[in-house]
Amino acid sequence: MHSRRALSGRPLGQKRCLQGALAAWKMKMSLNPFHLGRLLTHWRRLFGPSGRLVEVHRPPSWWDVAGRHLPLALIGAVPLALAHFVPISRLPGVPCLFLKWTGVPCPFCGYTRSFWAMAQGDWAFAFRNAPLACLFYGAAILLLLWNGGALLSGCRFSRGRLLQIPGRLTGPLILIGALLLLSQWLYRIAGSLA
């Protein structure tokens, strides 16, 4: 005769009773919108292995993460750290050769002063000096947060479905970037002539 015990050692009736109680508890908790399980489910949908915003993968070695995210984290961190900790008077004075030869500022003149002004909290001067530098400053912060988070967590981050740029939008985005640079340059030229 076979015993009426499950593999866990409990009688089958007791196991079914526990499963029923667990199912009832899960149903009761699923009605609560702030239940931790539901929050984790939504979190995984946004930030899981196949997340909508961020795809998170844990590679076998941390060095895989460092190889992908450390250079980009440094690209964001170095300008922010220099602007915050080094006074602008201590920077080597490298003159703009374009300005020296033509007498007209180049498309990137004013970005260094704007970065330093933003690091010191003078956003008004930074925006008057080089409005596009404010966008680059924000991009440097986002780049540092994204890649620094990946390095600290030991996971490889990549853009999810919602952050993917479709191929048909690549050309228009490059055109918009070029127009922004051109308008910034014209703004600087008009400011230097006035």
Is 172 part of any domain? yes
Buried b / exposed e along 7-24 (16+ C-beta atoms within 10 A): eeeeeeeeeeeeeeeeee
Is 142 part of any domain? yes
Is 64 part of any domain? yes
**Does residue 64 register a pLDDT over 70?**
yes
Q: How confident is the model at residue 6 (pLDDT cuts 50, 70, 90)?
A: very low
Is 44 part of any domain? no
Is 35 part of any domain? no
> Which two tokens mark 106?
């180049």
Question: Between the CA of residue 95 and those of 98, 106, 145, 177, what are the distances in Å?
Answer: 9, 11, 32, 25
Is 166 part of any domain? yes
**Tens-digit pLDDT profile for residues 15-53:** 555 566 656 655 555 545 455 555 556 666 666 666 677
How many domains does the chain divide into? 1
> Which two tokens mark 150?
């990946």
Is 17 part of any domain? no
Distance CA 69, CA 57 (A): 13
Is 100 part of any domain? yes
* H or E element that contains 158: strand 156-159
pLDDT of residue 16: 56
Distance CA 97, CA 10 (A): 83
Domain that holds residue 95: 60-193
